[in-house]
Chain A
Amino acid sequence: MKRRDVWIWTAALIGLALVAPYFLYPVFLMQGLCMALFACAFDLLLGYVGLLSFGHAAFMGSAAYITSHVCKVWGLPPELGILCGVAVAAALGVVFGALAIRRQGIYFAMITLALAQMVAFYALEAPFTGGEDGIQGVPRGHLFGVIDLGHTLTMYYFVLVMFLIGFGIIARTIHSPFGQVIKAIRENEPRAISLGYSVDRYKLMAFVLSAALAGLAGAMKALVFQFAALTDVDWTTSGEVVLMTLVGGVGTSLGPIVGAFIIVAMDNYLAQTGSWVTIIEGIIFIVCVLTFRRGIVGVLAPYIVGARGAPRTAMLSAEQGSASVVTSAPARISEANGGNARRSGDASTKTHK
């Protein structure tokens, strides 16, 4: 896509975002923006580093709790509250990352899931989180002491700005030398190691960045709803962000945003129908995994961009047939198991170095 087109599209979208609160319910838009940032942060890890984290809610939720506590009980202004939330999420990212990076694929997913569950239980027990009650009545305060965030429109524009900042950081990271190394690691990790890159360190940095931005989303959400609750750290929230990214298109820039808004709209619209939200989300998961792995943006992009190549949206290197071990179409079982054995072989070379 040409540079000029990118700028036109960006300007159009920002323009749409600026007038949107006059047409749609602003609280819904803010929720969408927060979840979009969350999904983008998650996709940084999945689409570009190739790691599926099933515990990202821990970062969002912990930041939500910290920001809520800091703003309500310590009385700090919102910008400091957000900073604290992001800092804690990043710290948690370092801890999770250090433990989980050693493993890959499914192991990585399970470990992040279990660690996130630990955070969820801590949130249930710790006195300052309020357990089932959550932290309620969080004051939005005055930004920098002057801008009153109590007004819905003001809050909306603040959220929009923060979202753009977060998105900008991700975009900048992907197109930087650091981003190039990350992509190289994902394409062919042994080769990156042989070139001398400290692969674990790069992965950890990407992980912490992803965690910090997820934390930013959580801190914003806490201020929007003036509420931090157990739902924010629940593993079902981790599952929701995976769904958003999958539906929108893994590895695309707009995919997570589209996916986030779709899922948030569905949640709100179907909230009154009881468990149908869960059922429909499950069906979408299954359908996406079976037949729709490129996601909405992945499928639509060629039409919008023009014939010039679909973006690289295959989630995992297995599909691209690149460095990974799955070749063409031999018997199913041998792929499933032989592949795994050889991949584990790669991993063992790594750990034995």
Chain B
Amino acid sequence: MRRVAVAAFSAAIWLLMGAAQAQTPDTIKIGVLADMSSLYADLGGPGSVTAAQMAVDDFGGTALGKKVEIVSADHQNKPDIGASIARQWFDTDGVQMITDLTTSSVALAVQEVARQKNKVIMITGAASSDLTGKACAPTAIHYAYDTTALANGTGGAVVRAGGKTWFFITADYAFGHSLQNDTSAVVEANGGKVVGSVNVPLNTADFSSYLLQAQASKAQIIGLANAGGDTINSIKQAAEFGIVKGGQKLAGLLLFISDVHSLGLQTAQGLELTSSFYWDLDDQTRAWSKKFFDKTGKEPTMTQAGVYSATTHYLEAIKATNSIDGPTIIKYLQSKPINDFMIRNGHLQPDGSLVHDMYLFEVKSPADSKGPWDLYKLIAKIPGDEAYKLPHGEQCPAAKG
């Protein structure tokens, strides 16, 4: 009798677990897969979820007669976790599109999964140009920016201003290597020289020994091929060790407004950076950013603005093509230019990169700033073709020839 009871109990558990996996086919789900709790949480994170929800609400909340729902998860900067979540989302949870995807190693892993399942992903967080190079996939869009644009933007500007010898402090994973690679190519093409580099594990707290190496190299420019919390720590600790006082300059190759806000103008003034979005650029950006600020209390980064823009265009594509099929949506998005408050003169390329205008900014000095988020001074607008000019040539097999 007991054994029957135990057997029945176990069977009930099995069935319950099975039921829990059932799909709800009447919603279209869009997934925001981001770093919610670690060093990149401020540049995407919960803010991206807010942006995605804003896009859905502004679109009307439904598409093709079905409700549109946002789901989100924290990939913790681990590619295997990200890939698992993406696979489960696509297989059993009815998610049709994944966005944000900060952290290049995660984005690459998820892109693999998306390729297998032919689903659309729109990457606004990750930077590595490999996403549209060696690892390009037909249903992936590299939306907001990439290391090519950063290299051509910040890298080009710094080397042309006289910074000829470079030493890189590089985050030791796909993004850092990609950024170092692309920037080195630009530096060398402009007559500069890379004298050394050092690889640093992701999310390192103490940069002292790496900064000492950079100091000993006597390079004019110390290129920070890292982002988020890593960049903040590098810059702060460089100040402690008297690096800038000693005559070397820092080049923050990827800076977000959240980083500059965290560093403060006193420490960050004079740094140059490339971005595809700034809240105070013109009336359109100001209008949208105000809505975002009212919800979150912070001005949006280009990743978060990108999530809104990408989600909106995705929903429009669904409506226009009357389909949720990945390749169909991509074809539609490739067929016409993309223009909105964030993306200007955007053209979706066969390799997946969304070529659009970028901007070169300089961080203001405390004296010039009139508010807690009045942080940037516009130096130049970089037209899309110039920003996305590939230093190594086209690497995507599908797009070559």
Judge if B18 is at the interface, Cβ distance under 8 Å.
yes
Set B2, B7, B91, B172: member contacting A131, Cβ < 8 A: B172
Contacts of A23 in B (CB 8 A): 14-15, 17-18
Listed A/B pairs (18) with beta-carbon separation below 8 Å: A25-B91, A27-B91, A124-B172, A131-B172, A132-B172, A132-B201, A133-B79, A133-B174, A134-B80, A136-B79, A225-B80, A226-B112, A227-B80, A227-B109, A229-B80, A230-B78, A231-B80, A271-B73
Contacts of B202 in A (CB 8 A): 132
Min distance, Cβ B49 to any Cβ of chain A, angstroms: 12
Contacts of A132 in B (CB 8 A): 77, 79, 105, 172-174, 201-202
Contact B18 A24 (CB under 8 A): yes
Min distance, Cβ B44 to any Cβ of chain A, angstroms: 15
Judge if B266 is at the interface, Cβ distance under 8 Å.
no
**Chain A's interface: helix, strand, loop or mixed, by majority?**
helix
Binary contact track B68-86/A, C-beta < 8 Å → 1, others 0: 0000111001111101110
Contacts of A265 in B (CB 8 A): 17
Query: How many Å lie between the Cα of A97 and that of B74 in the bound state?
Result: 38
Judge if B193 is at the interface, Cβ distance under 8 Å.
no
Chain A, 241-269, CB within 8 A of any chain B CB: 265, 268
> How many residues of A are in contact with the other chain, CB < 8 A?
30
Min distance, Cβ B135 to any Cβ of chain A, angstroms: 9
Judge if B108 is at the interface, Cβ distance under 8 Å.
yes
Set B36, B79, B83, B108: member contacting A274, Cβ < 8 A: B36
Contacts of B74 in A (CB 8 A): 272, 274
Min distance, Cβ A109 to any Cβ of chain B, angstroms: 26
Binary contact track A281-301/B, C-beta < 8 Å → 1, others 0: 000000000000000000010
Binary contact track B108-128/A, C-beta < 8 Å → 1, others 0: 110010000000000000000
Judge if B3 is at the interface, Cβ distance under 8 Å.
yes
Min distance, Cβ B363 to any Cβ of chain A, angstroms: 29
Query: How many Å lie between the Cα of A134 and that of B104 in the bound state?
Result: 12
Judge if A303 is at the interface, Cβ distance under 8 Å.
yes
Contacts of A27 in B (CB 8 A): 87-88, 91
Judge if B369 is at the interface, Cβ distance under 8 Å.
no
Contacts of A124 in B (CB 8 A): 172, 201
Q: Which residue of A lies closest to B75 (CB)?
A: A271
Q: A24-B14, A133-B105, A304-B2 provided; 11 other pairs, C-beta below 8 A?
A: A27-B87, A27-B88, A27-B91, A132-B173, A133-B79, A136-B108, A225-B83, A227-B80, A229-B80, A230-B78, A271-B84
Judge if A20 is at the interface, Cβ distance under 8 Å.
yes
Query: How many Å lie between the Cα of A131 and that of B170 in the bound state?
Result: 13
Set B72, B78, B85, B109: member contacting A231, Cβ < 8 A: B78
Binary contact track B48-81/A, C-beta < 8 Å → 1, others 0: 0000000000000000000000001110011111
Contacts of B37 in A (CB 8 A): 274-275
